[in-house]
Structure 1
Amino acid sequence: MKTTWQSGNQVQLLINGEEYYPSVFEAIARAREEVLLETFIIFEDKVGEQLQQVLVDAAERGVRVEVLVDGYGTADLSAAYLQRLSDVGVRLQAFDPSPKLMGMRTNLFRRMHRKIVVIDGEVGFVGGINYSADHLADFGEMAKQDYAVQVRGPIVADLHQAVLKLLDETSRVHRNPRLWRSHPAPIDPDSAHASMLLSIRDNIHHKNDIEQHYLRAIRSARSRLVIANAYFFPGYRLLHEIRNAARRGVKVTLILQGMPDMPLVRLCSRLLYNDLLRDGVVISEYCERPLHGKVALVDDEWSTVGSSNLDPLSLSLNLEANLFIRDRTFNERLYTHLQELANSRCKSVSLQRVLRTYWWRAPLIFLTFHFLRHFPAIAGWLPAHSPRITPLSTKARDLEDTPQVHP
């Protein structure tokens, strides 16, 4: 898997499901040869049904369609949903599924958390948005705030290769290389200004790649650093570099959850506030809806959008994918949006507010930080196994043969 910067790309920021889903579904509707899609979650709601329909339509007109979902994140699709995809030839598979125990999902760690779409080797999508209605504003107050990008150019070949490499390694399917090769379409060079690098995180060869790119970018910061991240509890090295940047005069802004979908996550993040605020880091909590984004920017050129949170699960256990982007126009677009978010839809956190309860939180901060810092190693004590991919169409056929009990 190449890890070099690719120049001559186009990139478009997509904010929330309102921008992401129409772009992805339209691109799938135009597919001529191949659709590759991997995601953590597909829910059987209005978004999942729209996705199902465009995939069925593509397969019916002869497009090769391959979908990889996570066995933990996507555990409850109905037999009818799966069978409809299988009947038209969609190859739907689950990454490392496990049976439930007393109705509970058990395979929590080392998940396939990536969100990548590649269509005809010409257009790609990367980000943090799953296929579920809770990424749309009309879902209500718990609708998620999230980001993705649409890209064209040489970087699409890297996305294509990354998806196929994961499928080949875990499903042992041998494809005709001439059938599954990428054919990047020519793009207008006058609009292709972005240099990009695809960075993945796995548990074999790329354990620290995403974190290392963050560290290098933060160390290089001279004027501004903005991080908007849903689940913020980084390790010592990232925290150290963020604080160092603020101490040397960089304007550091963290946009974190103020209306969490998982309250424990916000509690963990708040354990870090005291030291960050003392060094001059500006912390804003987004309180309009749950923040689910994983984006950042440094100075006026470097940005990243992807699936990786800055917490132990993403940085040390899950399979993740981030695009790192060097493009001034994109950086400014993302910065303008995040500034508007911080200024008008966030609550600023003051050091005085944090210090009111610091006396009883200090021991908890120490214990929690060091526990989570070593959590990946602790999780590694669990029984090791080789991740596998299982066709979900088999599950659909099995369920079809099983008598259904209705309440």
Structure 2
Amino acid sequence: MTAAWRHGNTVCLLENGEAFFPRVFEAIRAARQEVLLETFILFDDKVGQELRQALIEAAQRGVEIDVTVDGYGSDCLDEAFIGGLTEAGVRFHIFDPRPRVFGFRVNALRRMHRKIVVVDSQVAFVGGINYSADHLAEFGPDAKQDYAAQLQGPIVEDIRRFARDAVHGGRRRRWPRRRGPAHAASGEGAALFVTRDNDRHSTDIERYYRAGFRTAQHEIIVANAYFFPGYRLLRDLRNAARRGVRVRLILQGEPDMPIAQLAARTLYDYLLSAGVIIYEYCERPLHGKVACIDDEWATVGSSNLDPLSLALNLEANVVVRDQAFTAELRDSLEELIQRHCRRITPQHGMKRVLRRLWFGVAVFHFLHRFPAWAAAFPSRDPLLQRVEPPQPTAPTDEARHD
């Protein structure tokens, strides 16, 4: 699907599970025709159970429902959890399901990392929040900081078309007839739905980030959980800072994956020397994948700025041109900076300079070459397995006589 700007949308920022889950569950409970849902992680916890119940109730009302989870991210779901959904009529799909080998997940590359919901062609959700309790503050110090966008207006049909084709491979089938004006303009925002795959759209998300950085006039704020982008994107950030744009990065200070923090820190000297301002978010693990540029450009989605998201995984972001939405996201990020971040300052000394030189050669050789190396990783056709409803158990001889 070719990305196109759609005008007349209403876009609402949803911060963390406290804002995101109620909106999604409410939309599913109000569904009358269709629900399309994709997620990397679905856990059998309080959040997963509430989603499951909302989907079952919708299916029992006759709503057509397709749910897709990733076989790596959601490999702990048991037959009882999935069986209750499929028995109610939910079409449940697993992307690249593979059994564990000696207790280890072996399908780590080329994951379905998208987080998308579309309900009745009227409302869509795109972001980075999975269906798990660790996106709620009550989870404790390890609760994740994250974002999603709720969208209404013409952009919803683009997201719907993409999600249904992802499930059915672009094959034609009879889809629920829409009720009401699915394409009616409902707001002021222009929105673009952009995805990354391992075929014709392998660099789309990165290209829109880079275009935003190159055209920035006065401000760039990026908050990204796993930051280890390609050489060209780093160069665009440095060039923006050098021409006077205020470039600020919010990265992990309390990482859920320490290796991600170590990788990002190898880039600090390179960025700081050009005037980029770097903060580490220290309140809890940062899981967001968002950015805002100047007064009206923003993006929210599933794509990190690291080799997995930019060169291997299947991702989805929404890019928005809307002053109110951009201001809302900027205000949220400013609050993180003011209340929960520490600023990184340059460090000096000969030992530091030598270490920087060594890391610089190794790191930038890797970043420069990785897109080409990624082609050597397994590139099988994505397998989407539909889970069939449980079969009724045949009665025993004793039961037949009763």
Q: TM-score range by the shorter chain?
A: over 0.9
> Partner residue of 1:404?
none
The CA distance in 2 between the partners of 1:297 and 1:381, in whole Å, is 34
**Does the Cα contact within 8 Å between 2:196 and 2:314 map onto a contact in 1?**
yes
The CA distance in 2 between the partners of 1:31 and 1:212, in whole Å, is 35
Relative to structure 1, is the Cα distance of residues 301 and 106 closer, same or farther in structure 2, using a 3 angstrom cutoff?
same
> Partner residue of 1:279?
274
> Partner residue of 1:5?
5
Deviations 1:300-321 (A, max 9, x none): 0100001111111111111111
**Does the Cα contact within 8 Å between 1:120 and 1:183 map onto a contact in 2?**
no
> Partner residue of 1:328?
323
- Check if 1:131 corresponds to 2:134: no
Deviations 1:49-104 (A, max 9, x none): 01100000100111111101111111110111011001101000011112221121
The CA distance in 1 between the partners of 2:386 and 2:326, in whole Å, is 40
The total of aligned residue pairs comes to 393
Q: How does 1:132-211 map to 2 (within 5 A)?
A: 132-169=132-169, 174-177=172-175, 179=176, 184-185=181-182, 189=186, 192-211=187-206
**Does the Cα contact within 8 Å between 2:6 and 2:190 map onto a contact in 1?**
yes
Relative to structure 1, is the Cα distance of residues 77 and 311 closer, same or farther in structure 2, using a 3 angstrom cutoff?
same
Which one is further off, 338-347 or 7-16?
338-347
Normalising by structure 1, report the TM-score: 0.92
Deviations 1:96-153 (A, max 9, x none): 1122211211111111111110000000000000000110011111110000010100
What letter matches 2:151 in structure 1?
V
Residue segments in structure 2 that go unaligned for 5+ positions in a row: 393-402
Q: CA RMSD in A?
A: 2.1
> Partner residue of 2:71?
71
Deviations 1:217-273 (A, max 9, x none): 111101100000000111111000100000000000000000000000000100000
Deviation, 1:390, is: 0.3
What letter matches 2:46 in structure 1?
K
The CA distance in 2 between the partners of 1:181 and 1:200, in whole Å, is 25
Deviation, 1:369, is: 3.6
Relative to structure 1, is the Cα distance of residues 385 and 346 closer, same or farther in structure 2, using a 3 angstrom cutoff?
same
- Check if 1:224 corresponds to 2:219: yes
- Check if 1:60 corresponds to 2:55: no
Deviation, 1:376, is: 4.6
Residue segments in structure 1 that go unaligned for 5+ positions in a row: 399-407
What letter matches 2:122 in structure 1?
E
Relative to structure 1, is the Cα distance of residues 340 and 203 closer, same or farther in structure 2, using a 3 angstrom cutoff?
same
Normalising by structure 2, report the TM-score: 0.93
**Does the Cα contact within 8 Å between 2:194 and 2:318 map onto a contact in 1?**
yes
What letter matches 1:4 in structure 2?
A
What letter matches 1:324 in structure 2?
V
**Does the Cα contact within 8 Å between 2:153 and 2:185 map onto a contact in 1?**
no
Relative to structure 1, is the Cα distance of residues 9 and 251 closer, same or farther in structure 2, using a 3 angstrom cutoff?
same
Deviation, 1:382, is: 3.7
Q: How does 1:25-64 map to 2 (within 5 A)?
A: 25-64=25-64
Identity across the alignment (%):
52
The CA distance in 2 between the partners of 1:79 and 1:384, in whole Å, is 29
Q: Secondary structure at the match of 1:8?
A: strand
The CA distance in 2 between the partners of 1:212 and 1:121, in whole Å, is 28
**Does the Cα contact within 8 Å between 2:311 and 2:374 map onto a contact in 1?**
no
> Partner residue of 2:22?
22
Which one is further off, 353-362 or 61-70?
353-362
The CA distance in 2 between the partners of 1:368 and 1:391, in whole Å, is 41
Relative to structure 1, is the Cα distance of residues 390 and 182 closer, same or farther in structure 2, using a 3 angstrom cutoff?
farther
> Partner residue of 1:347?
342
Q: Secondary structure at the match of 2:347?
A: helix
Deviation, 1:353, is: 7.2
**Does the Cα contact within 8 Å between 2:42 and 2:130 map onto a contact in 1?**
yes
**Does the Cα contact within 8 Å between 1:47 and 1:133 map onto a contact in 2?**
yes
What letter matches 2:382 in structure 1?
P
**Does the Cα contact within 8 Å between 2:125 and 2:148 map onto a contact in 1?**
yes
Relative to structure 1, is the Cα distance of residues 188 and 211 closer, same or farther in structure 2, using a 3 angstrom cutoff?
closer
The CA distance in 2 between the partners of 1:83 and 1:385, in whole Å, is 28
What letter matches 1:313 in structure 2?
L
Deviation, 1:357, is: 4.1
Deviation, 1:393, is: 3.6
What letter matches 1:14 in structure 2?
L
- Check if 1:298 corresponds to 2:296: no
- Check if 1:89 corresponds to 2:89: yes
> Partner residue of 1:289?
284
- Check if 1:247 corresponds to 2:245: no
